[in-house]
Amino acid sequence: MSRRKEATVTYSVPFSKDVAWLPADLEDENRWIYQLTPADVADIENALAASKAAGATIETLTRETFPLDTFTDALTLTLDRLENDMGLFVLRGLPVERFTKDEMRLIYWGIGLHMGVARSQSFKGDMLGDVRDAGQSAVTQKGRGYMSREGLGFHTDSADIVALFVLRTAKSGGRSLFCSSVAVADEIARTRPDLFEVLQQPFYHSWKGSEKPGEKPYFQQPIFSIEDGRFSSRWLAPHIWTAQEFDGVPPLTEAQTEAMNLLISLNDDPRFHTSMMFEPGDFQFINNHVVYHARTEFEDWEEEDRKRHLLRLWLAPTNSRRLHEGMKEFYGDVRPGVARGGFPAPTGQRVFVSRNTGA
What pLDDT is attached to residue 170? 58
Separation between Cα atoms, residue 213 and residue 162, nearest integer Å: 26
What pLDDT is attached to residue 23? 96
Query: What H or E segment, with its residue span, contains residue 310?
Result: strand 309-316
Please name which of 183, 166, 156, 165 lies closest in space to residue 273, comparing C-alpha atoms: 183
What pLDDT is attached to residue 304? 60
Task: Check whether the bond before 14 is cis (ω within 30° of 0).
Answer: yes
Q: What is the DSSP string of 200-231?
A: TSEEEEE-TT-PPTTS-SEEEEESEEEETTEE
Separation between Cα atoms, residue 316 and residue 320, nearest integer Å: 7
Separation between Cα atoms, residue 238 and residue 216, nearest integer Å: 18
CB neighbour list of residue 346: distance below 8 Å, 6 or more residues apart: 123, 212, 213
Please name which of 204, 135, 146 lies closest in space to residue 176, comparing C-alpha atoms: 146
Radius of gyration of the chain (CA): 20
What pLDDT is attached to residue 76? 98
Q: What is the DSSP string of 127-152?
A: SSEEES--S--TTSSS--GGGSSS-E
Separation between Cα atoms, residue 85 and residue 30, nearest integer Å: 13
What pLDDT is attached to residue 136? 42
Which three-class secondary structure state does DSSP give residue 273?
strand
CB neighbour list of residue 258: distance below 8 Å, 6 or more residues apart: 1, 2, 195, 198
Separation between Cα atoms, residue 179 and residue 272, nearest integer Å: 6
Query: What H or E segment, with its residue span, contains residue 162?
Result: strand 161-168
Are β-strands 309-316 and 117-118 bridged in parallel, bridged antiparallel, or unpaired?
antiparallel
Separation between Cα atoms, residue 337 and residue 188, nearest integer Å: 29
183 near 22, Cβ under 8 Å?
yes
What is the per-residue burial (b if ≥16 Cβ within 10 Å, else e) of 191-214? ebbbbbbbbbeebbbbbbebbeee
115 near 79, Cβ under 8 Å?
yes
CB neighbour list of residue 184: distance below 8 Å, 6 or more residues apart: 263, 266, 267, 272, 292
The list of the chain residues with pLDDT below 70 reads: 1-14, 133-149, 170-174, 298-307, 354-359
Fold of 31-331: Double-stranded beta-helix (3.60.130)
The amino acid present at 102, given as its one-letter code, is: D
Number of separate helices (H) and strands (E) present in the chain: 8, 17
Give the count of beta carbons closer than 10 Å to the beta carbon of residue 243.
Answer: 22
What pLDDT is attached to residue 354? 57
What pLDDT is attached to residue 57? 96
